[in-house]
């Protein structure tokens, strides 16, 4: 049983309270934290939205969201009735001063009632165009002033390029201290992503191998079967690089490649991750074609269903040049990783929905077995499965039973669902609890965000200035464009696809 300590009294204001994120993710996460006993009974959630809604109607909508999306399944009436008393809805215009004066009053009333200083969380679950205005509103009302307890949570995208990210950082850091800012990357809240740190730094047996002497290449794939759904208007200005690579994929790369931290202090972990970003070799504009591949999905078939091409999606230009797939080869120029390629890729409408990191080890230095023994021989490989299957698989060679010496790859498997029976928290549960507890380890610091943008800028600008003449260049339900295969094949490698469900010796 987990050691649960009640958090400090907290009032959380969610801007974008009537939006999708609140409904699908934030309230289900807060509800689970409540059920698991993390939340103090002195707690208040105020959802602020621009849509007019009555309290009852709003609470019903939230309940539908929890019923649909919570890992626990449907709500139980008695529990939901208690939880929903903590939640209120407020209609408000984010540019109106009165809204912030009202929030200030709510906070004062709450703190007076509980007779102590509470955590005050302002969650920006809104379109980025509102970030600065809301921050200004908070400042004008003095809601930024309690540096120890007032916290601002910002959803992605954090800027659309290096310049805008820098400007946003300057703006926010004029109002808040860095320790008050929680820039979300929801991948960092995922159980399996957090486990990368445990796996690497709580075991003595892997770290000695974790370097250029033993590792041939590392691959990170974050692929999705879904298309852009109803987010065409946003995605048209984003594309796969901004939407997935700049944040989620780069963070996975940092966790895999970082040096061992001295402690689990938030800044220590973030410093080690920032070191990786700074060591990534800058790709020159003229070399982009050698290091990066882009794609856009055409219509096709997925699991027997015909699906549209990207250019036929709602709110998407029929001539769109936005990439729905990106693959990049990175090098990390430091002692540990010199000349080890890191291949990353992410795309929509791919064959599988899978997030996986593959560590491909080098072959043995000398092959002593006779040729007939090594027909099926393969170098060692480790697969860290982030989702949907969660676990780690290590592939090594064993003797196949029989009278002759014949080698065969076999797998050693750690699988969350077989190992643990307790429910696995959602990323947002972890992240919200961390915000409430004031632990910024899993959040992006200003310099990390900027460093990640800096790495991608040559690719972004090159692709912007040179529209693809081949789009669309992969069919829905496939593994992306041929250029992505070529990107890795020219190094003598290939993208490793290993269905996790595969049993030994299959």
Residue ranges that bind ligand BG6, judged by CB under 6 A: 224, 243
3-state secondary structure of 239: helix
Nearer of residues 103 and 154 to ligand BG6, judged by Cβ: 154
User: CA quadruple 70, 233, 224, 444: dihedral positive or negative?
Assistant: negative
Q: How far is CA 68 from CA 33, 153, 228, 417, 460, in A?
A: 17, 25, 21, 22, 37
Least Cβ distance, residue 224 to ligand BG6 (angstroms) = 6
Least Cβ distance, residue 88 to ligand BG6 (angstroms) = 28
What are the beta bridge partners of residue 355? 222, 387
Least Cβ distance, residue 481 to ligand BG6 (angstroms) = 19
289 is catalytic: no
- Cα-based torsion angle of the residue sequence 448, 451, 452, 458 in order, rounded to the nearest 10 degrees: 170
* Strand runs labelled E in 70-205: 87-91, 119-124, 150-154, 181-183
Q: How far is CA 212 from CA 142, 191, 198, 219, 447, in A?
A: 52, 27, 21, 14, 27
Nearer of residues 117 and 127 to ligand BG6, judged by Cβ: 127
Least Cβ distance, residue 47 to ligand BG6 (angstroms) = 21
CB distance 248 to 157 below 8 Å:
no
Which of 186, 248, 278, 366 is catalytic? The answer is 248
Nearer of residues 221 and 478 to ligand BG6, judged by Cβ: 221
| Closest residue by Cα to residue 151 from 20, 350, 13 | 13
CB distance 242 to 159 below 8 Å:
no
- How far apart CA 470 and CA 1 sit, in angstroms, is 55
Least Cβ distance, residue 351 to ligand BG6 (angstroms) = 16
Least Cβ distance, residue 85 to ligand BG6 (angstroms) = 30
Place of tokens 């065969």: 408
| Alpha-carbon radius of gyration of the chain | 24
* 3-state SS string for 327-367: EEEECECCCCCCCCCEEEEEECCECCCEEEEEEEECCCCCC
- How far apart CA 242 and CA 157 sit, in angstroms, is 8
Look at the chain and count its residues.
506
Nearer of residues 221 and 408 to ligand BG6, judged by Cβ: 221
Least Cβ distance, residue 357 to ligand BG6 (angstroms) = 14
Catalytic residues: 248
């Amino acid at each position: 049983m987990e050691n649960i300590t009640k958090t400090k009294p907290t009032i959380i204001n969610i801007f974008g309270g009537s939006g999708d994120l609140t409904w699908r993710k934030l309230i289900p996460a807060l509800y689970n934290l409540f059920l698991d006993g993390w939340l103090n009974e002195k707690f208040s959630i105020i959802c602020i939205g621009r849509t007019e809604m009555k309290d009852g109607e709003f609470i019903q909508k939230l309940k539908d969201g929890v019923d649909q999306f919570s890992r626990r399944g449907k709500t139980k009436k008695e529990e939901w009735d208690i939880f929903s008393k903590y939640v209120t809805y407020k209609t408000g215009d984010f540019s109106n001063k009165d809204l912030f004066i009202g929030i200030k009053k709510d906070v004062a009333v709450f703190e007076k009632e509980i007779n102590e200083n509470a955590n005050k969380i302002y969650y920006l679950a809104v379109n980025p165009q509102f970030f600065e205005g809301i921050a200004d509103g908070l400042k004008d009302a003095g809601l930024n002033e309690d540096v120890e307890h007032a916290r601002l949570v910002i959803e992605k995208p954090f800027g659309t390029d290096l310049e805008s990210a820098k400007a946003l950082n300057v703006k926010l850091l004029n109002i808040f201290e860095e320790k008050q800012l929680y820039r979300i990357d929801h991948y960092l809240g995922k159980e399996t992503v957090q486990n990368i740190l445990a796996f690497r730094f709580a075991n003595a047996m892997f770290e000695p191998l974790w370097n250029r002497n033993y590792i041939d290449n590392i691959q990170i794939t974050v692929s999705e079967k879904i298309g852009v759904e109803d987010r065409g208007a946003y995605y048209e200005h984003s594309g796969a690089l901004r939407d997935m690579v700049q944040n989620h994929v780069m963070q996975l790369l940092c966790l895999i490649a970082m040096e061992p931290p001295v402690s689990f202090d938030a800044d220590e972990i973030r410093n080690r991750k920032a070191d990786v970003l700074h060591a990534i070799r800058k790709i020159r504009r003229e070399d982009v074609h050698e290091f990066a591949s882009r794609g856009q999905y055409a219509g096709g078939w997925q699991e027997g269903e015909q699906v549209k091409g990207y250019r036929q999606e709602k709110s998407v230009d029929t001539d769109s040049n936005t990439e729905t797939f990106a693959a990049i080869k990175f090098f990390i120029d430091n002692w540990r990783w010199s000349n080890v390629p890191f291949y990353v890729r992410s795309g929509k409408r791919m064959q599988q929905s899978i997030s996986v990191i593959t560590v491909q080890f080098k072959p043995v230095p000398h092959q002593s077995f006779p040729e007939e023994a090594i027909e099926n021989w393969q170098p060692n490989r480790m697969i860290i499965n982030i989702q949907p299957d969660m676990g780690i698989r290590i592939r090594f060679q064993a003797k196949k039973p029989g009278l002759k010496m014949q080698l065969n790859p076999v797998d050693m498997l750690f699988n969350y669902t077989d190992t643990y029976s307790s429910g696995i928290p959602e990323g947002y549960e972890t992240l919200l609890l961390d915000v409430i507890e004031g632990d910024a380890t899993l959040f992006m610091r200003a310099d990390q965000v900027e460093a990640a943008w800096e790495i991608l800028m040559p690719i972004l600008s090159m692709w912007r200035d040179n529209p693809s003449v081949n789009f669309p260049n992969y069919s829905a339900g496939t593994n992306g464009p041929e250029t992505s295969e070529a990107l890795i094949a020219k190094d003598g490698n290939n993208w490793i696809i290993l269905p996790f469900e595969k049993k030994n010796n299959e």
